[in-house]
Structure 1
Amino acid sequence: MTEPGEQDEVVVARKPNDADARGILSLTPDELKALRRSRKHSGGEAIHVTRQHNLSVIRRLLYANGPQTRPELARLSGLSLPTVGGLVSELVGAGTVHDLGVVAEARVGKPASRVAIDAEGNCTIVLDLTHDDTFTGAIIDLDGTVVDRAQLSIGGAHGEPALDYAVDLARLLIKRASSQVIGIGVASPGLVDDTGLVHVADRLRWRDVPLADTIQTRTGLPTVVGNDVNLLALGLSRFRNRSGRDAIVVDMANGVGAAVLEGGEPVLGEQFAAGEIAHLTVDPGGELCPCGRRGCLDMVVGAPHLQRRVAAVGAEVLEPAGRTLGEVLAPIVIMLNINVVVVVGPGGLVEGAFADGVVDGIHSRLRPAIIEGLKIEVGANDPDLVLLGAAAAVMESQLGVR
């Protein structure tokens, strides 16, 4: 295994995809209307559901509070001591929790033993599929520590070959893991539903790709898939800023994408398209966008286009671009009563004049009373946030940990 922080590049030779490259994939209005978030109903598995819920309660208590005795867990959870004892035994048997042994206490009675989440003995495999020529992945333990990393050059592949590359990277990391892998988390571009089905991902030319099911079938490990910006926001909420506050998070690195966090959880939207602001028209007479319309927000603010304009015209375009983004975000802030706005992108682009423009744009549209309680952060992107968000999604799905 490589030392933490090292990166290996594994190049897998494949015939380039020969699918046509006629343009950007997009959903028709009818296709978009057909998408609906699933509604979860209580069924006939009440006993199973209750037990899974109780297991999640114990895991969350241990994750949040550190090592606890069984009586302490019973008191914190409100469950009976025999019930807690059975749940802890099940978690110890699964390798999720380990017994720390007897802890001497200054009281009369039988000494109690403490149990704890085995953060180092369990890990997640996470993949970031958002870059044009490279898929990145990591092994992350339950404390959010990146234990190992890997990169795989995909040479601009798309379609089925890109899917094969994702599986290859997952398998590579599984082989390198030295602890129990509880699941795989994948950050995908595009429109991703709550089953891990990628309905459309323009960059990879994916349409209705069952990404979670495919990786789970080929690796044998539980797999969760989410939109990359939603997972970036989740990583920020769970591992960088644990406040759990409502927030808007905007990522400019690969074009403009946004996520809305409510209580620290991403809002998906009815058709899983919450935060898809890239093709909001902000300049009707502006540049032609690949989507066929003019003046889309992505053409004004997306890092690739903004860097091109800076190279051609100069840095004077940065402040107006930031102001445009701020003016777009202001109505969302007031509509949802958001108190935190985070904008991330390439450091040399978003810091300085652009950041000033974002703040000015938001302030110009809001009342002073709203501005006083608003926290706005604009800065360089941490590439680990997407990976950490994918790890958080696995921990939630497999351990019930939030």
Structure 2
Amino acid sequence: MEALRDRQRTDRASAATLPSDGRAHNLSLVRQTLHSAGAMSRAELSRVLGLTRVTVSDLVSDLLERGHVVELGQSDEVRPGKPAILVDINRRGLQVIGMDLAENSVLRAAVLDLDGNILERVERSISEETGPDVVNEVLELASEAVGRATATLLGIGVGTPGIVNAGGEVTTAPNFGWKDVALRDLLQERTSLPTLVSNDADAAVHADHTFGGGSDDEILVKIGRGVGSGLIVGGRRARGAHSAAGEIGHVTVGTDGGTVCKCGKTGCLETWMSVPSLERALAEAAASSQPEAAAAVVLREAGERLAIALAPVVGALDLGEVVLSGPRELLEGPLLNAVQQTLLERLLHQDPSPVSVRLAADAQDIVLRGAAVMVLWNQLGVA
């Protein structure tokens, strides 16, 4: 199974849009193959990639000089002639900074290795701060995280609430009081490191796709103080015409009333599905005469409303997987089951199980790890 997954990841690299220059493309393929499959000899790389040994040796020499790969010593494989030398991606010599700005009252950052493992963590509380004050806290946090690195840094990846354009500018983030904040440029000026900024749900779906075994056609719904989603279609993240693909929190999911949303509308998905909304409804259920039954009703209804919002997206894009990321104690059980059942009822498909629904494996750190993936892809062509 692991070997199959490795081959699939190598296939993703082959199919992805890479630089038109053939050499740059081949360098990315070598890095991608070593990152996903692990150490191998130059001869093995030649067989896997379908390139000549001379070409592979030349590519590996280039990557050794750049510090992107390292030699690990002789292979244990018994074979005639001179023992082969194993090479691998430079897992110990390269690191990445990931930043998660989506928590309620804390900004989080981490130093990660190339496999998405968190090596160091730093946090800064922000309480009720907004506007430029939050920007300053983000810059200070980035500087602190950079100081914790113990190897060469490839860059910084950031997952933030709000809508982020292709230039790394946060065009709007109401929770922070941000409008047209050039976050990427500010971070690059502060740290002198390549920086990528994305919506937090988009970062999360990168992590699930790369480290969580996610499908090449999936939607990840991130449930926290708001509700957002990230989309992978055909192995690539969908951005949308206005850099807002996946903004489902304010999709109307009913005409039967409900709480008035902070946006001014009634019936928005967030009024049923955000963590604060769920916690309020469950607190009311706990005070009823049959608290367990009432709580199950709350969770089932939230799951049904989410599926109503997702069904047209899943059907139109023929997605194979829906992933929920958020507090497991709220999402697991009645809510997850309701999403699965309602989607099955609303999707017309010959396959008896057209879409799978599951929880993300690492909701706590999924944005940090996804932010790291953004840098790995941008700097090494690895994802």
Question: Does TM, normalized by the shorter one, top 0.5?
Answer: yes
Describe the shift of the 1:64–1:344 C-alpha distance in structure 2 as closer, same or farther (beyond 3 A). Answer: closer
Q: Tell me which of 104, 107, 117 is aligned to 1:145.
A: 117
Residue of 222, 241, 244 corresponding to 1:251:
222
Between the two proteins, the alignment pairs up a number of residues equal to: 357
Aligned to 1:23: none
The 3 A distance-change label for structure 1 pair 57 and 348 is closer
DSSP 3-state at the match of 1:203: helix
Q: Give the equivalent residue in structure 1 for 2:244.
A: 273
Write out aligned runs for 1:73-84 (5 A): 73-84=45-56
* 1:326 partnered with 2:312: no
Shift in Å, 1:331 = 2.0
> Once the two structures are superposed, what CA deviation does each residue of 1:109-132 show, in whole Å capped at 9, x if it has no partner?
554422111212211111100123
Taking the aligned partners of 2:304 and 2:117, their CA distance within structure 1 comes to: 36
Matching residue of 1:384: 365
Which runs of 5 or more residues in structure 1 are unaligned? 1-40
Listed as ranges, the matches of 1:131-142 within 5 Å are 131-142=103-114
Q: CA distance change for structure 1 residues 82 and 355 in 2, over 3 Å: closer, same or farther? A: closer
Question: Which moves more between the two structures, 100-109 or 195-204?
Answer: 100-109
Question: How many percent of aligned residue pairs carry the same amino acid?
Answer: 38
Shift of 1:68: 2.6
**What is aligned with 1:67?**
39
Whether contact under 8 Å (2:98, 2:109) holds in the other structure is yes
Residue 89 (structure 1) aligns with: 61
The alignment partner of 1:150 has SS state of: strand
What pairs with 1:187-336 in structure 2 (closer than 5 Å)?
A: 187-241=159-213, 243-284=214-255, 285-314=257-286, 315=295, 316-336=297-317
Alignment deviations for residues 8-60 of structure 1 (CA, whole Å, 9 cap, x no partner)? xxxxxxxxxxxxxxxxxxxxxxxxxxxxxxxxx99xx96xx433222212111
Aligned-pair distance for 1:105? 6.0
1:101 is matched with 73
Partner residue of 1:169?
141
SS in structure 1 of the partner of residue 122 of structure 2: strand
- Partner SS state of residue 64, structure 1: helix
Gaps of 5+ in 2: 1-16, 287-294
Within 2, Cα distance between the matches of 1:108 and 1:364?
Answer: 61
Q: Name the CA shift for 1:394/1:101 in 2 (closer, same or farther; >3 Å).
A: same
Does the 8 A contact of 2:344 with 2:354 survive in 1?
Answer: no
| Residue aligned with 1:376, SS | strand
Asked whether the equivalents of residues 124 and 394 of structure 1 are also in contact (C-alpha less than 8 Å), the reply is: yes
Q: Partners in 2 of 1:126 and 1:244 — Cα distance?
A: 23
What is aligned with 2:291?
none
Distance 1:292 1:300 in 2: 15
For residues 65-113 of structure 1, give each alpha carbon's deviation from its aligned partner in whole angstroms, at most 9, with x where no partner exists. 3223333333433444444333322322222211123447655555442
Structure 2 distance, partners of 1:344, 1:128, is 14
Kindly provide the amino acid, as one letter, of the partner of residue 254 in structure 2. Answer: D
Distance 1:139 1:371 in 2: 43
- Bigger Cα displacement from structure 2, 369-378 vs 325-334: 369-378
User: Does structure 1 conserve the Cα–Cα contact (< 8 Å) formed by 2:303 and 2:336?
Assistant: yes
Spell out, residue by residue over 1:233-274, the C-alpha distance to the aligned partner (whole angstroms, 9 max, x if none).
Answer: 111111122x54311211111211112222443211121111
1:29-48 pair list within 5 angstroms: none
Check 1:84–1:363 CA distance in 2 against 1; reply closer, same or farther (3 A cut). Answer: closer
State the secondary structure of the residue aligned to 1:194. Answer: coil
Residues 96 and 156 in structure 2, CA contact (< 8 A), matched pair in contact too: yes
The counterpart of 1:359, out of the listed 340, 347, 351, is 340
